[in-house]
C-alpha cells in the first residue's frame, strides 16, 4: 500500500517536472503570430495622463528611496500624478509628509492618501486610490522597488492597442548576492520572469500581473470589477478576472525594475506563505470559470498549472514522509522500495537540476562558481515543503485573511533587520526534527552501502536542516528588536 501511494505521488511530481522542462522548449518556439513588437505611437504628439500608486505600510527604511526614484521618472510633471497610499502606523507617515512638502514645491502632483484603516489591505488601498485617480493609466510600485527613469516611456507604448489592459516589467534584484537565501530567491524568481512569463505571453496564455512594476489601463481594472481583498494575491485575482473579460496583457523582459529580496529567512517565509495561500484562494475562486469558459484548451491547461502551482507542496510533503517511512521500515521492504525511491528521486532531481541550470544560463549567472547554488536551491525548496503545505491548507480551508507584509531592510544587511517579524516555533522545530531523522537515515545509508539513497537523503538533511535551524536562529535575533506595529 505504501509502495503504491509512493508511486502515485512520485508520478504526479514527475509530471510537474516534465511540465517545467517543457517551458524550456516552449521558450524557443515561435509565437502564434500575434504582433509583439513595441510601437512608439503614444509619444508623437502628447503623453497620456498617468497615476503612479505607491501602496505602503510601515516602510521607513525604503520610502525615501522609493519617492526619489519615482520623482526621477522621465515624464512630464503635468501628466503624472503620484498617490502615496499610506496605511502606516509608525514614523513612515511623518517621513512621507516631510518629503511630499519638498516635492510639491518642485512642481510634482503628489497626493498623500491615508484611509485610517487597513480594510482590504493592499487591495483595499489600491481600490481607494483608483477611485480618486486622474490618470488614464495606473502604474504600481511596492516600497522596495526602484523604477528606472525610462519606465513609463518604455512601457506605455505597448498600450497602442486598445485591447491591452496591463503591461508587466521584469524584476531585478538589488541584493541578489547578499547571502545564500537571496541567491536562491533570485534563481526561483528568474524561473518565473525568464521562463514562465515569456512563454505564457509569447503563446497568448493566461499570465499575471506581479503586484508591482507594472502598468494598468484604468478602464481594464474597472471593467474587471476593481481590486478585491478576498484573497491574499489580489494581483493574481484581478489578472484572471481581466483576462476572462477579454483584455490582453503584455510582458516586457527588456524593462527591468530593481527590487529588494527579503534577507531574514522569517521575512522570506512570511512572503512565501502569503503567495502560496493567496494562489490557492485564487484557484478556488476562478478554476470553475476557467474550465467552463470558452477558452482554448491550451489556455485552460496552462491556467490549471499556473493556478495550482502551489498544490505540488502537499504532494512533496507526503513523499518526504513516505521516504522516511520506507527507509526505516522492515528489512524485507527496504531493498526494493528504497532502491526504487532513490532511483525515482534521482530522475526527478535531474529534471529540476536541468531546469534550474537553464535559468542560470538565461539570467547570465552561469559560472562554475555558481553551480553549488543548484543543489542548495533544491534542498531549500524541500526544506520549505512543510511550511508551504500549511499555507496551501490555510488557503483551502482557512478564513483568517490577514495580509502580513514582507518587511524591507533598505540597507540590505540581513544581520540588522529593522522590523520585527513574528513567527511560531512549531514549524521550524518540526523541520529541525525532520533534518535529524534524515541525518540518521543518511548515516545508515552509508553504513549499509545504500548508495542510491544517499543523494536524496543528503538533500533532505541539508534542506530541512538549513530552513529549520536558520529560522530558529532568526526568531531568536528578532526578539531583540523592539516590537513594531
pLDDT score of 35: 44
69, β-bridge pairs = none
How many Å apart are CA 101 and CA 318, to the nearest integer?
A: 56
pLDDT score of 42: 44
End-to-end, the C-alpha distance of the chain in Å comes to 50
For residue 302, report the phi and psi dihedrals to the nearest 5 degrees: -65, -40
pLDDT category at 14 given cuts 50, 70, 90 is confident
CB contact at 8 A, 400 and 481: no
How many Å apart are CA 9 and CA 311, to the nearest integer?
A: 12
Alpha helix locations (H) across 245-401? 265-292, 297-307, 312-327, 331-333, 339-362, 373-383, 385-397
Give the chain's mean pLDDT.
88
Superfamily of chain region 47-266: Spore Coat Polysaccharide Biosynthesis Protein SpsA; Chain A (3.90.550.10)
Span 17-57, pLDDT tens digits: 889 999 999 998 765 444 445 444 444 457 899 999 999 99
Mean pLDDT of 400-413: 68
How many Å apart are CA 99 and CA 103, to the nearest integer?
A: 6
How many Å apart are CA 94 and CA 155, to the nearest integer?
A: 32
Q: Is 110's pLDDT higher than 50? A: yes
pLDDT score of 7: 73
Span 172-208, pLDDT tens digits: 999 998 899 999 999 999 999 999 999 999 999 999 9
pLDDT score of 470: 95
pLDDT category at 478 given cuts 50, 70, 90 is confident
Which is the catalytic residue, given 87, 142, 144, 394? 87
Of the listed ranges 215-224, 300-309, 447-456, the least confidently predicted one is 447-456
How many Å apart are CA 338 and CA 447, to the nearest integer?
A: 15
pLDDT score of 405: 72
How many Å apart are CA 395 and CA 392, to the nearest integer?
A: 5
Closest of 199, 200, 141, 213 to residue 171, by C-alpha:
213
CB contact at 8 A, 411 and 61: yes
Hey, what's the cell of 255?
524593462
Q: Is 481's pLDDT higher than 80? A: no
Does residue 237 have an active-site annotation?
no
Does residue 230 have an active-site annotation?
no
pLDDT score of 65: 95
More confident residue, 391 or 346: 391
Mean pLDDT of 53-78: 95
Q: Is 221's pLDDT higher than 80? A: yes
Mean pLDDT of 236-261: 97
Q: Is 483's pLDDT higher than 80? A: no
Which is the catalytic residue, given 142, 144, 190, 235? 235
How many Å apart are CA 415 and CA 263, to the nearest integer?
A: 9
Mean pLDDT of 51-78: 95
Mean pLDDT of 402-408: 74
Q: Which residue has the cell 524557443?
A: 28
Mean pLDDT of 411-422: 62
Q: Is 371's pLDDT higher than 90? A: no
pLDDT score of 342: 63
pLDDT score of 414: 54
pLDDT score of 227: 98
More confident residue, 39 or 277: 277
Of the listed ranges 114-128, 331-345, 412-426, the least confidently predicted one is 331-345
> Residue-wise over 252-268: b if at least 16 C-beta within 10 A, else e?
beebbbbbbbbbbbbbb
More confident residue, 353 or 48: 48
Measure Cα distances from 306 to 8, 226, 326 in Å. 21, 22, 32
Amino acid at each position: 500500500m505504501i509502495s503504491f501511494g509512493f508511486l502515485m505521488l512520485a508520478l504526479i511530481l514527475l509530471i510537474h517536472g516534465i511540465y517545467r522542462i517543457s517551458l524550456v522548449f516552449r521558450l524557443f518556439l515561435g509565437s502564434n503570430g500575434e504582433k509583439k513588437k513595441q510601437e512608439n505611437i503614444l509619444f508623437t504628439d502628447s503623453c497620456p495622463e498617468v497615476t503612479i500608486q505607491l501602496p505602503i505600510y510601515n516602510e521607513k527604511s525604503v520610502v525615501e528611496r522609493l519617492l526619489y526614484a519615482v520623482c526621477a521618472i522621465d515624464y512630464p510633471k503635468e501628466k503624472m500624478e503620484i498617490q502615496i497610499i499610506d496605511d502606516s502606523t509608525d514614523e513612515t507617515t511623518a517621513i512621507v509628509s516631510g518629503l511630499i512638502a519638498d516635492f510639491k514645491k518642485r512642481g510634482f502632483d503628489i497626493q498623500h492618501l491615508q484611509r485610517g484603516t487597513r480594510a482590504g489591505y493592499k487591495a483595499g488601498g489600491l481600490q481607494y486610490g483608483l477611485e480618486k485617480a486622474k490618470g488614464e493609466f495606473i502604474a504600481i510600485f511596492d516600497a522596495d522597488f526602484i523604477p528606472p527613469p525610462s519606465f513609463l516611456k518604455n512601457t506605455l507604448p505597448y498600450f497602442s492597442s486598445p485591447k491591452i489592459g496591463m503591461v508587466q516589467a521584469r524584476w531585478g534584484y538589488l541584493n541578489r548576492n547578499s547571502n545564500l537565501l537571496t541567491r536562491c530567491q533570485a534563481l526561483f524568481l528568474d524561473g518565473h520572469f525568464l521562463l514562465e512569463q515569456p512563454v505564457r505571453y509569447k503563446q497568448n496564455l493566461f499570465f499575471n500581473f506581479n503586484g508591482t512594476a507594472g502598468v494598468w489601463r484604468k478602464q481594464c481594472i474597472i471593467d474587471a470589477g476593481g481590486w478585491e481583498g478576498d484573497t491574499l494575491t489580489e494581483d493574481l485575482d484581478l489578472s484572471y478576472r481581466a483576462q476572462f473579460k477579454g483584455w490582453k496583457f503584455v510582458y516586457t523582459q527588456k524593462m527591468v525594475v530593481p527590487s529588494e529580496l527579503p534577507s531574514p529567512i522569517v521575512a522570506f517565509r512570511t512572503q512565501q506563505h502569503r503567495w502560496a495561500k493567496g494562489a490557492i484562494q485564487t484557484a478556488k475562486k476562478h478554476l470553475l470559470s476557467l474550465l467552463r469558459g470558452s477558452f482554448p484548451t491550451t489556455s485552460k491547461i496552462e491556467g490549471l498549472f499556473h493556478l495550482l502551482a502551489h498544490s505540488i507542496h502537499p504532494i512533496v510533503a507526503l513523499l518526504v514522509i513516505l521516504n522516511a517511512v520506507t527507509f526505516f521500515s522492515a528489512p524485507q521492504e527496504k531493498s526494493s522500495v528504497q532502491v526504487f525511491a532513490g532511483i525515482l528521486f534521482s530522475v526527478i532531481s535531474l529534471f529540476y537540476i536541468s531546469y534550474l541550470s537553464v535559468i542560470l544560463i538565461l539570467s547570465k549567472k552561469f559560472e562554475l562558481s555558481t553551480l553549488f547554488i543548484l543543489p542548495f536551491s533544491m534542498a531549500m525548496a524541500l526544506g520549505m515543503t512543510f511550511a508551504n503545505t500549511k499555507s496551501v491548507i490555510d488557503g483551502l480551508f482557512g478564513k483568517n485573511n490577514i495580509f502580513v507584509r514582507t518587511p524591507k531592510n533598505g540597507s540590505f544587511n540581513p544581520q540588522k533587520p529593522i522590523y520585527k517579524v513574528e513567527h511560531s516555533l512549531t514549524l521550524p522545530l518540526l523541520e529541525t526534527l525532520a533534518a535529524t531523522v534524515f541525518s540518521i537515515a543518511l548515516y545508515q545509508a552509508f553504513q549499509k552501502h545504500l548508495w542510491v539513497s544517499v543523494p536524496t537523503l543528503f538533500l533532505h538533511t541539508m534542506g530541512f536542516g538549513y530552513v529549520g535551524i536558520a529560522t530558529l536562529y532568526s526568531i531568536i535575533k528578532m526578539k531583540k528588536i523592539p516590537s513594531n506595529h
